[in-house]
Amino acid sequence: MSERVFIGVAWPYANGSLHLGQIAGANLPADIFARYHRTKGNEVLMVSGSDQHGTPITIKAEQEGKTPEEIADYYQREYLDCWQKLGISFDLYTTTGTANHTAVAQDIFRRLLEGGYLYRETVSQAYCPRCERFLPDRYVEGTCPSCNSPGARGDQCDACGKPMNTTELIAPYCRTCKTTPIFKDSEHFFLKLSEFQNKLSDWVEKQTHWRPNTLNLTRRYLKEGLRDRAITRDIEWGVPVPVAGFEHKRLYVWFEAVIGYLSASKEWAKSHGDEEKWRPFWEGGVKSYYFLGKDNIPFHTLIWPAMLMGYGGLALPYDVPANEFLTIEGRKVSTSQNWAVWLPDYLSRYDPDPLRYLLSINMPETSDTDFSWREFVRRNNDELVATYGNLVNRVLTLVYRNFDGRVPEHEELSDPDKSVMKDADSYLRQTGELLSRCNFKQAIMTAMSVAHGTNRYLDEKSPWKVIKEDRQAAANSLYVALYVISCLKTALYPFLPFSSQKVHEYLGFAGKVEEAGWQPQPPPPGQKLREPEPLFTKLDDSLIEEETRRIGT
């Protein structure tokens, strides 16, 4: 029976290029999951977009002498290009800058206000008398009270990682003009998160299928007790607050960005000519998955569910498979120090599948993992080229050259032959089960073990030698190998969509891998093959040193 699966992927601030940490953390696992479910015949809606609002964008715009729109538009185009090249198959990748998003965010705000979940309160806010404006937290800098580093921001100290309130900074100053801020009263709306404490606790305790990191962090926040949070700020860039007297304030970006999942679904429905098409993905009978890095957990396990509970009638998250972090060459990613591998840069020089492979088999699912160029080259050469690529290439080339470019006829397969095929079936099924539980690393290792096993089988059978004396014996073992390769192109498709599609075509199949379903697709004897080319390219060791040197410069 077909299931409905909603997949939301965390929204990045549109203030810089994407780096590999974001891909390993959220976008790649989401795409793998979506491709698996689509192949299985399930209905999938996968959405995300770029977050155009918030001070990270305005600060970047001021630094570059551009408008926030120009910055956001530039990176939105770059992200779309990256998704296409890396094969991240969003049904819609939009932005928070649309009229649709504003309308949906304001609708949620109004409904929460009517329901009594929002209240007004006057708070003391940093204000720069020289710039004549309120200063959102990132606009105030000063000395960190924890580690004494200069240049700590009003929301967090980059040196020691301590999150803080603007009022805690020692010797605070306006980041634009260096004037010492004064504190002035300002009225804001607050979300009554505290009111959801019990309801959320009851709900979270039922989520025993969540990953330990997601569950433990969420429980810790609940144990500390949920505090009400301001959802408006004194800025001019963002979604307007739909209340008189708040014309110079905007919805706080954390409140409004999570609403993007719903607004994107509605935009997707409209773009398909059916304004109601989003409903089955939000109202009953749907499993909603949210893919994100661990820093985003509480927004998706507490704040967004609280907003949905207050709004009523919409599906709460079913699972929030949060990933840990990907370090680069043993060090934490730092975008400000340029300690990152940037996705557009990678894609300008290398193929997408080798990166998808490494980030999948080395996915930071349960603990931080590391990306290094040495590991990238090793995995590409030893595993993609020498194991999987070599299997596909030697079998297809041998068959293509010796059997008139057609799948050979097999006769009386031996029991060991049959058991190799049966094993391939069962590994395909196992890979699917692991994928359905978001165990991506285990899933790709399971699939790759089939490639290893089949290479051993071929070495024993040596059809390239046997063919001279016993053509039928060679035909049999090559048929078995083709059968396994056909299973592999399905099992590896969510991870390696580009090369799987190629294998699908080399085997003589038409259409897309996805259309064949999550099941073995035996190549019919006599089917015309397409002349194969090597699936992957061996990389030169010299690139390791070259690429490693580029990081951080």
- Residue nearer to Zn ion on the CB measure, 131 or 413: 131
Output the six-digit token pair for 410: 């097999």
Specify the stretch interacting with Zn ion by CB under 5 A; choose among 141-149, 235-243, 360-368, 535-543. 141-149
> Can you tell me the distance from the alpha carbon of 44 to that of 33, in angstroms, rounded to the nearest whole number?
10
Number of amino acids touching Zn ion (CB under 5 A): 14
Dihedral angle, C-alpha 296, 326, 76, 97, nearest 10 °: 10
**Positive or negative CA dihedral for 402, 406, 407, 411?**
negative
What whole-number distance in Å separates Cα of residue 113 and Cα of residue 495? Answer: 44
Widest Cα–Cα separation across the chain: 92
Q: How far is the CB of 58 from Zn ion (least distance, A)?
A: 14
DSSP 398: H
To 10 degrees, the CA torsion angle through 236, 237, 239, 242?
A: 10
Beta strands 326-328 and 369-371 are parallel
d(CA 187, CA 248): 11
Structure tokens at 278: 């989003």
- Binding flags for Zn ion, 94-133, as an x/- string (CB under 5 A): ----------------------------------x-xx--
State how far the Cα of 8 lies from the Cα of 46, in Å rounded to an integer. Answer: 6
Q: In whole angstroms, how close is the CB of 178 to Zn ion at the nearest point?
A: 7
Least distance in angstroms from the C-beta of 157 to Zn ion = 3
Nearer to Zn ion, 130 or 456 (CB): 130
CB of 181 to Zn ion, least distance (A): 8
Nearer residue to Zn ion within complex by CB, 149 or 198: 149
Q: Minimum CB separation from Zn ion for residue 134, in Å?
A: 11
Contacting residues for 512 by C-beta, under 8 A, at least 6 apart: 501, 504
Three-state DSSP class for 240? strand
What is the rounded radius of gyration, in angstroms, for the C-alpha atoms of the chain? Answer: 27
Tokens of 81: 């290009």
Q: How far apart are CA 23 and CA 82, in angstroms?
A: 11
**What's the CA gap between 344 and 79, in Å, rounded?**
9
* Least distance CB 174 / Zn ion (angstroms): 3
| DSSP track, 141-169 | EEE-TTT--TTEESSB-TTT--B--GGG-
For Zn ion, the closer of residues 103 and 160 by Cβ is 160
Q: Rounded to 5, what percent of the chain is helix, strand, coil?
A: 50, 15, 35
Question: 130 vs 248, which CB is nearer to Zn ion?
Answer: 130
Find the shortest distance in angstroms from Cβ 132 to Zn ion: 8
Centroid of chain to Cα 70: 25
Nearer to Zn ion, 159 or 315 (CB): 159
Q: How far apart are CA 335 and CA 349, in angstroms?
A: 21
Binding residues for Zn ion restricted to 385-424, rule: CB under 5 A: none
* Of residues 123 and 170, the one with the C-beta less far from Zn ion: 170
Query: Residue 149 Cβ, how far from Zn ion at the closest point, in Å?
Result: 5
Query: What is the closest distance, in whole angstroms, from the C-beta atom of residue 160 to Zn ion in the complex?
Result: 3
For the bound state, the minimum distance from the C-beta of residue 429 to Zn ion, rounded and expressed in Å, comes to 51
What is the closest distance, in whole angstroms, from the C-beta atom of residue 520 to Zn ion in the complex? 56
Q: Which residues within the stretch 144-163 sit at the binding site for Zn ion (CB under 5 A)?
A: 144, 146-147, 149, 157, 159-160
Question: In sequence order, what are the residues at sequence separation of 6 or more whose Cβ sits closer than 8 angstroms to the Cβ of residue 465?
Answer: none
Token reading at 51: 């977050």
Between 157 and 217, name the residue whose CB sits nearer to Zn ion: 157
Measured from the CB atom, the residue of 63 and 426 that comes closer to Zn ion is 63
One-letter amino acid for residue 534 of the chain? P
482 binds Zn ion (CB under 5 A): no
Q: Least distance from C-beta 154 to Zn ion, angstroms?
A: 13
Nearer to Zn ion, 174 or 475 (CB): 174
CB burial of 356-367 (b: ≥16 within 10 Å; e: otherwise) equals: bbbbbbbbbbee
What x/- string results for residues 164 through 203 when contact with Zn ion is judged by CB under 5 A? ----------x-xx-x------------------------
* Identity of the residue, 216 or 334, whose beta carbon is nearer to Zn ion in the bound complex: 334
Closer by beta carbon to Zn ion, 103 or else 170: 170
Given the rule CB under 5 A, which residues bind Zn ion? 128, 130-131, 144, 146-147, 149, 157, 159-160, 174, 176-177, 179
